Structure 1
């Protein structure tokens, strides 16, 4: 299994518009062969005071949204990126001012997974 993570620095004040883009997406990736699931993670920058063990918000940290997709194989992911559906899904680009810098794409292969059963 492959997990693809796009780490995106969203500019302050654009968070709601960024999230709306994902809430209103056309779900083309969901229909791609080998696609397993998609998650969008909202950043929660926190800091730990090691002396007290207390956690608090970190207003100075740049948080990154993470858009994660799980794929059966690397070949399935590559096929998605070469498909007409991928081009359609990425056609309506967000305005540049929505971002605080470039995004970063990471790809990982799952070699171990633990699911908690209720």
Structure 2
């Protein structure tokens, strides 16, 4: 998960960037899903949740040229669009239930 603190006046531009993202991650080995969660309350961050088959697959993505190219493209927003540094968190699934 990556928490991104976006100033309110840049929400629309931030969301538009994700709608038109390069999508390179989608074809990476071990990629399962990418979700972008919009904050429900002011002051909360956007959360980008990317799910992988394994930690090794995730690390393969982070160390790839496609990752560097995709994230270079995301730099189209000015620095003032963000109110705090992003925060990357990694987890392993303990329990997964579905209805």
> What interval of TM-score do these two structures reach, taking the shorter chain for normalisation?
over 0.9
Number of aligned residues: 97
Q: 1:77 aligns with which of 58, 65, 68?
A: 58
Q: 1:26 aligns with which of 14, 22, 26?
A: 22
The residue correspondences of 1:1-118 to structure 2 (distance < 5 A) are: 5-45=1-41, 62-92=43-73, 93=75, 94-116=77-99
Residue 91 of structure 2: SS of its match in structure 1? strand
| Alpha-carbon distance in structure 1 between the residues aligned to 2:94 and 2:44 | 27
RMSD between aligned alpha carbons? Answer: 0.9
1:5-36 deviation line (CA, Å, top 9, x unaligned) = 00011012100000000000011000010000
Q: Which runs of 5+ in 2 are unaligned?
A: none
1:64-112 deviation line (CA, Å, top 9, x unaligned) = 0000100000000001011111111011213211101111111010011
Q: Which runs of 5+ in 1 are unaligned?
A: 46-58
| Alpha-carbon distance in structure 1 between the residues aligned to 2:26 and 2:70 | 11
| Alpha-carbon distance in structure 1 between the residues aligned to 2:30 and 2:15 | 25
Larger-Rg structure = 1
| Alpha-carbon distance in structure 2 between the residues aligned to 1:43 and 1:8 | 10
Which runs of structure 1 show a deviation greater than 2 angstroms over 4 or more consecutive aligned residues? none
| Alpha-carbon distance in structure 1 between the residues aligned to 2:62 and 2:84 | 23
More strand by percentage: 1
